[in-house]
Structure formats: C-alpha cells, structure tokens
Structure 1
Amino acid sequence: NGNANTDGVVIGYNYFGSSDKGSFSLSAPFDKGRTATHEIGHCFGLLHTFQGGCGTSNCAASGDYCCDTPPVSTANYGCPSTNSCSNDSPNLPDQVQNYMDYTDDACMNMFTADQKTRVLQVMANSPRRSTLPTSTVCGTPSLTAAFSGTPTTINAGQTVTFTDASTGPNTITSWTWNFDVNSLGGVTPATASTQGPHVVTYNNPGTYTVSLMVGDGTSTDTDQKNSYIIVNPVGTQACDSTLATWDINNSTHTSSTGVYLWSGGNGYILGRNAYGDNGWADKISYTGSGDFLTDVFYYFGVAKGTGNVNLKVWGETGSLPNNGNVMATVSAANTSLATGGTPTLWTISSPPALTGNFYVGFDHTSFATGDTVALMSAPTGTNTVYAKETGGWINLSNYGLTHSAAVIPVVCNSIATGEKEILGNINEILVFPNPSNGTINVALTEKTLSSVDVYNVVGKLVRSTQPLNTQLITINIDDQPNGIYFINVKTGGNVITKKVVISK
C-alpha cells in the first residue's frame, strides 16, 4: 500500500545465494538464500504461518488463510519437531519446513498448494503485481532525450535556462539544441551543441517550440516541446494565479454549492458572524523566487454596513498570521465589495517581493452593529485557514476543519507600469465554445471589453478588434487552420489570456 517507487523487496547482498554454491558473505544458519525467499513470499501476498497464532477452526478466515498450512502458535526457530496448536482437524504438527516460518534455512524447503493459489490470485489481481509478467524494466534501457526550461513564460528580452535531463544505457556524447524550431527569430543563442545548462534570451514576443536531440554513438533520440516558451511583449507582466486552491470551475456560490456554512445557520465560516470572527487569513505555500504579489481576487458572500476591511499580506514567521511582518495593506469599505459570485479585485500599490510562504487575508477594523463581511469558502482544501476571533487567531485545522478560502493571489514575475497579463483561470472572462469550429464568443461578467486579439501558437496576430462599450463579442476565425490559439482580452489596465482550440 506504499509508494509505488518503494513497493517491492530490496535484497542485501548477504541475504541471498547459498553457501553450498561457493564462498559468499553469508552467516549461518541463514546462509541458504531462504531469507530472500521468505521476503519475496510476503511481496506476493503470503503471510507468516504463525499469523494470528492458533486462530480459529475456520482456516479460510484466520491465520495465514491457507488451509493446508497447520496453525502455528508462535514463530519457530532452529528446526524443531513441535505441535503448538491443536484446534485443527486433523491435528497436524507445525510445518517448520515452510518458507513462511522463521526456522533455519536448512530446515525450509516448501510452499503449499494453497500458498501457490494465493500467490497466483495476487499476481492476477493486484494492480502492481499483475503487470510484472509483461514488465520491460529489466530489459535493456533505451536512449531517452529529455529537458526542461525555467521559466516558460517571460517578457521579451528575458532569459530561459534549459537543462538536459536525458538518460540512456551508454554515455551520451552529443547534444543538438534548437531553441527556435519555427524560426521566429530574436533568439540568442538559437542553437547549441553542448550539454548545458544553456541560458537563452528571447527578444521577440511569440510562442516558441524547443527541441533537443541526443546521441550515444550508436543511436539518437529527440524531445520536442511544442509551444513551450511563451514570450510576452515588453511592458507586460507575466502573472500566475495557480497558487489558489479555490475551485473556480465550481463557482455557483450558493449555500449548497461551493460555500460552507456553520451548522445552525449562524453565518459563513470566514468573516464576521455569530462566533465573533473579525478577520481571516489563508496560508499560501510558495516555493518560487523573484516574484511579486500584485493583486488579490476575493469572493465575498456578504458585505453589509458602513465599516472598513483591511486586506493584509503577512510574511511567514511563527505559527499565526500576525506573528509575521505585514508586507502590504489595502483598505476598502464594506460597500465597495462585490458579492454573489462576482470577484472583488484588490490591487496592491507596492507589490511585496515573495521569498517564501505567506499569509493573505483581511481583518474588520471598524464595524458597528449589523455590519457583516463574509468570505466564501469551500468545505475541503489544502491550505491552512485561520480565523481571527476576539481572543486572537486560531488555526481552523486544529478543530478538524479543512477549507479553501475563496481567494486568488496573483503572482507576477516583475512589477510593470504597463499592461498586466493574468494567466490564471479567473472567471470574470468567458470564452466559449471551447473547442470551437471557428466562431468564438468572448464575454466579461463585470467590466467592458477594450480590445480582443487572437494569436496563433507561433505568436502571429490573426485577428484584432476593439469593441465599444460591450461585455460580449463574437469573433470568427474559421479561415484559420485547426490548432491552439490564444485570446488576449484587454479590459481596463489588465490583459487576460485564454487558450482556445479550433477543431472544424
């Protein structure tokens, strides 16, 4: 039941082989190779003959579940003649010759027919064991080209580091890199012939395919990653909202779907409610480097009254949010918060640099009777959620509560004064149908469209339009071939990118 990478038997050199066949580093009385036999028996589903002691009279439901192995009270050592159990019929002595006891190697010499049947059943039905007869892992490995690039989304003029990860049975002696397979230009260097790592500059916007061919003197193999590197225009941030655990695809936001309520109808679990909550924070795991927290999307279920809330970002110090340093604060009035499934975007004027895990949340700083702020939350999640009550912060997981708060932190690789491109799945924009036969509808749930541009996978602009004061537009690109296209939607100061597949 463990990890597949460690499921099996690891055999030490001094635990298999027989001293009868030569000089080995073996120790009597376990020098005939039976230790390996015993452990492999476990691997294929066999239990000790003394499993469960004498068990019950129903041999098929107790002990080792094999009726032709007599019950054994405790493990046997040496090579005794004993009958430790008398509840079997006929009453047979302990089967000390069985490989699944603990007797000396020289004493062991058998499996039973029922043990064989059990092994065959395991081999036929266990998900990992059933594939062993056809496994090729013991065959000669083949040469396999592989590589990775970091990062894969950049601005024009920035660099990507490519690292070789190829493997093979022989020493790899040649590497042929092509960092611009489709010859878009502006790539330095465009090719390389050493292992690397290679730091490559991409000066032109577009979507780049990269390949690596390796050779070992007798064979070659190629790894080609299509549309692998996305290069945004200069002045555009490359941002990501994938740190969120909130499921945007399940954003109906009703009391029965996607929103967790306290029992008894006392209010939402996060925010001002009958339990005295006056703040909330979510611990976000971050393992990157060189990024900034520029914006936060919140989904509020309720926002009433004349009070104010403060968005806060804390660094991770200690076990509670306010133990860390305050990295950013943005204040907003209750009346300015969107509710009912529409996100509220809070932009951080001085985006903090991220160096590790952080907390993001809010507290209700000034409120009167009747003021209410409630942040939506899902009943399950992976982040650590904290609530701030009158007595201070509490970790909800300590009370058996596991949640994901409805928040999307937007992390960018730079602080730009121009456009911002949010690559996450933010549901204020809809592109449908997807896949499409060439007719694409683009809709915004809140703001109006400024411009819509369509690019193919090599970064070529194939359609551009500037709709006027509308939240819905239809674009026809049925003259373009089947494939993947990127829809860049500009609204206000933001650019949101969506991918669409054309299949006619």
Structure 2
Amino acid sequence: MNRTFILRYIIPLLFCFGWYAASSQDNSIRHRGCVTGDVMEKYFQKHPQEKIAFEKRQQDFQKKYELVRKQRQGLQAQQRVNATVTIPVIVHILMEDPSQVTDDQVQSQLDVLNADYAGLNADSVNIPAAFKSRFGKSELRFCLAQRTPQGAPTTGIERITSVTKSFPGENDPVKYSAMGGVDAWDVNKYLNIWVCEMDNENDLGYTFMPGLGIAAGERGFVTAYHAFGTIGSAKAPFNKGRTATHEIGHFFNLSHIWGANSCNVESCSDSDNVDDTPNQYVCFFGTPEYPKTDNCTAAAPGVMFMNYMDYVDDAAMCLFTIGQTDRMASAMNSFAELTPLLSSNGCVPPLLYSNDVEVQRIASPDNIILNCATSFTPQLLIKNIGSATLTSVNINTVVDGQAPSVKTVTLSLPSLQTTTISGDAVAVSAGHHSIKIYTALPNGSADQFVANDTATSIFSVTGSTGTPLSEGFESTALPPQDWGIGNTSDIKEYNPVRVTGISHSGNASVKFDNYHYQLFGKNAILNSPELTIPIAADSVKVTFWRAAAKASLASNDSLVVEYSTDCGQTFVAAYKKGGNDLKTKADNTSADYVPAASEWVADTLDLSPYVAGKFDKVMVRFRIINGYGNNVYLDDIRIYSVTLPPALKQKGYILTPNPTTGSLVLQHYNASTPLKAIAVFSSIGQMVWKAEYENAGTSNYIPINLRNVSRGIYFVKLVYSDKTIVEKILKID
C-alpha cells in the first residue's frame, strides 16, 4: 500500500492463523482468521515498555526500508539480484504419535517454502496480468539443518512423543522442555518450527515479528500438524503448505496485506507499509474470483487477494510482491534477531570421522524406579555418526562411581543410523544411584571424537522393611532408605524433592513441583519399600498429610495412591483425588504455593479389603498427575497393620491387659448388642468403679481406670441390652 508508514502493530505482533465456519464471504466453508489479539493485549499489559520499544524499532526499520526501495526502484531485474541466503530449519514434531508427520511431509513443506520464496511456484501462472510486474522473487531459501548446534550430523527433524499442546503466545509450553515441549535450537543459527496439536483445534499457526524483544527461546514458528506440508496429515483447504509461507513472512517482518488492524476492521487508513500492494479494506477468505474491488481500491485491477499475506485458502495464494521481498531482505539486515541467520553454518554437513559413535541417551535405567531388583541390564541409545559401518563397540557401565562393567557388542549399523545396545547385567542394591554409560573402541579403534561418548542418569531401587513404617522426611536424603523416586517425563528435576521449613510436623516434607514444571499428563512418583505384613493381619492402613493448591479454575492436578502385592510389578489404585477434591487451599493461586499450617489435611486409606489376610507383602505408590496446576506436598506418611488377639475374635470382646496395673481397656469385635454399663467389684462384692452408657453402641476402645484401687482380684460386670457378662481380672502394683 503506497502510503506513509502507519504504526498499527499493537494487536498483530503475534500472528496466528485459525479456520472457522461462516463468513461474510461465501468462498469456502472453512476460513482463516487472526485469533490472537487478546494474546497480544495481555502481552503488552505484562510488558508495557515493550510496546514503546517495539514501535521505535519499527519506525527506525521503516526509514531504512523506504531508503532501500528508493535505491532499487527502476533497476532491471538482473540488477536487483542479491546473494541467496539459505536459512537452516529444525522441525520439532511434538505429538502423542509424532510418526503421523513423516519425513516426506516435512520435505514437502520445505519444497513449498523454497518455491514460494524464490517465485518458482507452479501456480504463479495464476497471477493476474495486471500484477505480474510486481511478482517478487526473494533471495531467501530454506534447508533442513545438516548439523546440530554441537556440530553433529542431523536430518533437521526431531520427533518427541508428548501430549503437550500449543497455547499460542508467550510461554507456549511446546517451546519448553520443562513444560512438556522441546527447547529451541540456537535461534541465531536455526529457524525453529514446532509441529504439534493446537489447544484450539481451529488454530493453524503463529509466530512473533522481529523487534518485539521476546525471550530468545520463543522465536520461531508454531504450526498445527494438519496445516503443515502438502501430504500426510495436511488437510484441505490448508494442505498446500501456505500456512508456513504466510507465517514465516511475519517472521521476516511482513504484515497482513490489508494492514496491521484485525481482519474485520474496515479501514482504508491502515497499511502494511509496502508500496506495491494495493490498498485493501478487509481480508479475503476462501477462493475469490478475480478481480475483486473494495472501498479502498474501487477500480480494476482491484485488490491483491491472492497475496501470501491475505487469508485466502492455500490454493488461492500465489505471490509476494517485489516490495514485500525487499522488506524481508531489509529485515534480515536490520533486526538483531534475524541478522545472525545470514552467517549460520547449519546447512553445511559436518565432516564425518571414520569411527565416531554418538551416545544419545541412556534408554534404561533412566530416572526410573526398579522395585525389589538385585540387578539390571543397561541399555544405551547410540547413533553411528562415523562414515564407516559400525560392526563392534564397547559399552561401559559405571554405577555410583564404581569400576565399570564392560561388554563388547557386535552389530552392523550403517552411517547416521541409530540403535539400542545392551550391556551385561549389573548387580545393584537398594538405594538411589547415579549411572554413567559410555562407549569405546568403535570397530576396535579409538573413537575419533570422544566428547559425545557419554550419558548419565539416576535411578532408584526399592528395598524391604517391616510394618509399621513412618516417614516424615526429616532425614536429609530423598528418597529415604529403601524408598524410590522418579517421574515419567524426560526432566529429572521434576522428581519429588525434599523441602525444609514447609511441613505438617517437624521441619521437612516432600514436594511435587507442578508450579515450575507444567508437564501436562506426566507423573511424579514416590514409592515406599516393600513392607512385610502378618498374613493374619486384620487391617492394613495408610495415613498421610497433604497440602495442595489449584493455580486456576482450569488446572486439575491429581493424587493417586496405589498398592502392589507383587513388589511393584503391578499396581492397583485405591485412592484418587484431583482438582477441587485434592486442593487444601480454599482460593486458587497463581503464585508458587507454600501451604499455611492450617492448610494441611489428613487422609486415611484402608487397604484391608484388598490386602489383609490375603498377602504378606505390600508396597504403596504415591503418584501425582500433572494437570497444569500448582505444588502438592505430602508429610507424615504411615503404613501399618493391625493383628487382633485371637481371643477377641473368638469371644467378640476382650479386657486387656490382664493382669493390669490399673489401666484396663475393653475392646469389641463385630459386636452388635449395645453396651449399657460397666461395673467393677472387689472379691467381697464392693463396687469400686462404674460407668453407664447411652447410645454407646459397641465402641472398640473403652478405658476402665483402676489405678486407685488396691491390688487383688476383681470382677468386671459388662451389662448389654440382652445379656450380662462377668470377667475376673487381677490388679497388680
């Protein structure tokens, strides 16, 4: 639009595509639409100074851009050619089943980007004759990264199994491993693309414009898996790869063609600050028929709805203008967050050594709990990044800094392929352990690059003990002796932790940190030892104290308590509370939750129906399920069994102890007749103690105080509603 620069970036700094049903235009059932104005409003409410700084950066850029345009206008096409710039791309596929997006689908998207930005797209033949002279051919190209930030070879594609969805805007969880996503590769060297499921299934993608001042790890492009590429999971009408073309245009500082206002704001005073795009009233959807005019451009050839920066369907888009390609080139040379990409070597394959094994991670045991184990078999995921086929390699396993266990593994692994190898079984005892596994002697020769040969992790082995078990986490070690901790994410820091100064009693408790680690659906786990219980036990119970808070109405953390009678091979849930049932703080809080003394709540779990009299071993597992919530604390865990005296179960009541020093207790077992009174008589018939009861039922614990009577023989008379029982006792000093 050939008008003076207008500063209207406030709403669309973060652009986002979405599709929705119905529109003022009837070209398509499903349409694109900008859905993130509210996100940017919140962004500037949180960072008010960023609004001022962004406007200043854009004003400065516009002056540089307009100077470039003046210098280049009138030049012949052959005089306008700049050096081609190839941008390394890393595609993070983050889905519950990331294999849905194949390598071929990723390549189809790269092919579209390269064709669209080079002006080599086959559908450019659809550009109206009136606009052909404005057809821009950018110097930007894109490659899948050939090397990692550490210099190792890569395909430029990584797949992460995760249920984490994108919540467009600042702190999007898909961009952070601590939130269940994946961290960006070095944003100064790579264009990061996250392919995932969006929280709103109608959203197609978004990116941030340069000059915003966001955190480095936020830079890049997030897209829905069904709007990425041209095959596979891509769905019409957004299956031509143009969501990426459009959004990466924003990444290089292009606005929507109608201007920076929201799509449905009808205005002719708005601008995209590009001089060869026609003034446009509002956005267009679907597949309009050329020509189209509107209130801003009423005469032919009309508006340029087929521009990549409008909202038409993929099949209806077919060009950038020369002014837009000049603007992107100027942005690359003007913005500090874009300029480093010009010198990135991410598209240059690294030099391969003949013999080089890259250890990618410990496959097992990796931050897991081995229940009742005496040994384990180490497993290691490796990649052959040497040029020679890998036929043998040593796997070395070190536990707690002890001497390594060494095994030579024979295999046939081609260059740049991965596999999992196993070492010999390693003996282990109960406790919390560190583990280091490293490779050596690939193909019987020295590894030519040893910096990538080692991986480390931690794991727990649970032990055995008897009942009762009481744990208040006062010892400095976590897990306590014979206990185990772990979690189901890739982030070891998400394990339960011991905290001091926060407790129900004493000075410590165990904390499950769902505040700093927003790992939706992941579990943090605390396992008890295997406990020996009498096979004749009449009851088995678990008591504990908890404190928890909700971060918001939508958050929904859960606590599940499970038991196992086969030493952790299988677990059965016996308790579950979540959301409002779990929280102990009345009000929701978005702050890092620390409970007040009044916010600790006691829970009792009766395992008797499942365990008592059936098994002589039991293990208890506390499992927190992350629901984007807040911290959960546990303290004063007690696991115990009760075995009743045989005489009590036989007679239905018992007086203990007998003989007694004065404190006598009456207990009942499965009695149904109400107790009316108790009277105690001496051997000569004198009543020395009496109590009467109304609606007493058959309490299991009734104290009788004989401390003030002389030693000797006494008779206790138990009066029930339908019978009277007399028992002889002996009082001693």
Q: TM-score, normalised by structure 2?
A: 0.30
| Structure with bigger gyration radius | 2
TM-score w.r.t. length of structure 1: 0.40
Q: Which has the higher helix share?
A: 2
